[in-house]
Chains A and B, each alone.
Chain A
């Protein structure tokens, strides 16, 4: 079985972020990049399946990133992915959900798959729109927010998180699944994995290679800093009734009780 995991490279989660007024894109220079944490969970789910299924199951990474971010994928290869394909093209810079889904779909059709596993969202974009749109473009079942995946003779069976609990959903393969963090903590790369990753193949495709020519459907008109919050009032050493009274008085003042 061929599993493809989509992975994005995002700026360091904890670095302060800003938008470049000229390009209206996220400033990435001077900020370390890392794998999108949600995609590490997708990869973890894929590696668990590979271990359980054995045989000729392979895990391929598919990433739409600039050439310069390729090295960040080594970590995912070190975790245990077999190889990687990078879709890299200046024409795809500034892609929104619509463009990203089209481009990834075109690449997936080219490289082939039995199961696509996506992270639930990207840390920088945070719309969570790609997996669903991608499944539509691929014309395969798209099962989102899975917290547990099993492969059975008839296809796939997953526990899918809902707002109040979960559902058990089945579908045939090929299919696309997006996962939540409940699939399990992403594994660390072993030393052997890190050494081996250097020799794993990372191939590159251009937009023309996969035949995608998509235009964004959204345009950032402007952006502004959020309204400033007045600095917090701080009440120190407020154990017990004194702390409770401080909160109560504050809520009174704001007419919240």
Chain B
């Protein structure tokens, strides 16, 4: 079989391209090296849907961000992922910073960002966000900024893509690519795939993929951002709060999540290891201090988790979305922030390139853009819940107590298209292990369900994929081995 389009990388970029392309009558597949999609940068980022005033005008990312932000409204309706425009503040703490706010506002309005306003009235500001520091002198308010859950979005994109015929292959790391007679032969450890067009959305590894075809016109540097997440009851913010940006990043923000938690971060640290998502003492201290500048009463004691994400920073500091010199090979690389915001605009851009390459884009008759909302215990009224439980008692067996997640939601997550097959996969799809106990209670039960539904023994259930086995041996095995060794000696 020869695919029309092969996409490498199952982050938000790859999945969004897959879903957008799935509208057309094409044979498409997506290859992802990890056991789950949304395992790379897409898993750990701020999830802010930026308004788009932040990058300078000469960058592509500014324009795709502004466009992408607007596309979220329809996408959220079709794909039913958590998304809310709660608005953001850029917070000036000194009078001389107001000029920059005014500048950003003016250019932003000119470029079509809706509703941007500079607010200098402290009472009004504090009314909109009571947790903000008293030191505030003014804010740039962007009402179109919002929050999305990046991995829930990615799962939704993938599910909808599968509904419309895209094939997903996980645990398929691309290791070699050949290009001959207008056909790409893409080799993975699990077999070869052939396609006419190839899209590189491999995130931190995009330069490596590009190199496989002899192209080396850009490089990608990993830049780490660390976060601290706080318990749901710790503090309630109304707005996404940014400091005045620095040269390297938008600075350390204090931000609510769609699930009622609060996080602070990220910092920005250039590193060399593309897998290094470890957090550091110095980093955690830095973000806590940074966050306190905006919200002095951050309840440091109610942190429930810290984590880090890696930005794929290209040497151009801008998105690299190119029809390359290799015919049919499109790079979608260096998708740093605001890549999540821009994602729908990026996908449209890729389609334009494919069209330029002569790919025939005929809309399928049975294309269905709607991914139904996953059913959640918490969304049901008492009456609906009662009915659901009558239909399937698995709705009544609560697995995650912190987030009230019943067995049924987990089973659904496993059997969804591109469904969960690891503990982390379950956690990112339906949140057991995300709550206060961080898996203390639910993990053994999640393992039990995965083992049963996937028909795999306990020992083969992993946290994230290969090499992360959770359970090592049965009790008595170690002792028995000693006894047996003793007997044979």
A binds B: no
Task: Give chain A's interface residues, CB within 8 Å of chain B.
Answer: none
Task: Give chain B's interface residues, CB within 8 Å of chain A.
Answer: none
